Amino acid sequence: MITLSTLKKYKKEGRKFSCLTCYDALFAKMMQNAQIDTILIGDSLGMVVQGHDSTLPVSVDDIAYHTANVARSNQHALILADLPFMSYVTLEDAVINTRKVMQAGAHVIKLEGGAELADMVATLTAAGAPICVHLGLTPQSVNVFGGYKVQGKSEDSAAKLLADVQAVVAAGAAILLLECVPAALATQISQTVDVPVIGIGAGPDTDGQVLVMHDMLGVTHGRTARFVHDFLTDERNQTGAYTGSVEGAFALFHQSVIEGSYPRPEHQFL
């Protein structure tokens, strides 16, 4: 079973680890067979499962439901789960909703934000809830950002991101997730902190890589983000145990992350 200690050991050894979003038991079992290291029950389910145009309508009950589905089938991966939009505005809300999602089966709770989360991270960590802090492009703040844009490109915004990282790590954050951050900045962060760093659109040097399951299977609609790669199509073009299968695509993603062949230069932001 992958634990936080496992991920810290991987980081120390320089071994990369894989992460995919998942929302139900069947796909969780396939991911287990493919040896995916970590699973994220993301509020991305609002878009890929529920059909919304953003993550904002997702509720805590939605996350708890899908977390329980995944947990029943998982005996391998570390399970991360989002607290959705406006569900942790106050510390009281954060405690109540963290308890609900962890009792559903999550091992780590993911929050979006920066230095303003420091006190919350410290309190939840002290109470026994490991926290992953999501920085950079945080989809729950898409209306504040004015769209889905790369973060940390200017000198000032990079400095703010670095300060946010330092604050949440000092508060006890167990994992960081960087989204749509220039590769050089993500490399600097990954090399500076002693906690595992997961990247999505953050270059090749983070400790782990995450993609939304539907995206990496080529099941998308509309514009595809630069960092997305269709592993199912790749699997169809190869021979092996899983020829053109979903489970094979998961295994190929895991292998590509471990070997460092994903992400490629075209998947990163400069």
* Catalytic residue set: 179
CA 170 and chain centroid, separation: 20
Whose structure tokens read 């659109």? 201
User: Which amino acid belongs to residue 12?
Assistant: K
- CA 98, CA 79: separation in Å to the nearest integer? 13
The count of other CB atoms within 10 Å of the CB of residue 34 is 22
The count of other CB atoms within 10 Å of the CB of residue 224 is 12
Reduce the DSSP state of residue 254 to 3 states and report it: helix
Look up residue 67 and give its two tokens: 């977390």
Q: Which residues contact 188 (CB under 8 A, 6 or more apart)?
A: 162
What is the radius of gyration, based on Cα positions, of the chain?
17
Reduce the DSSP state of residue 247 to 3 states and report it: helix
- CA 37, CA 53: separation in Å to the nearest integer? 29
181 in Cβ contact with 159 (< 8 Å): no
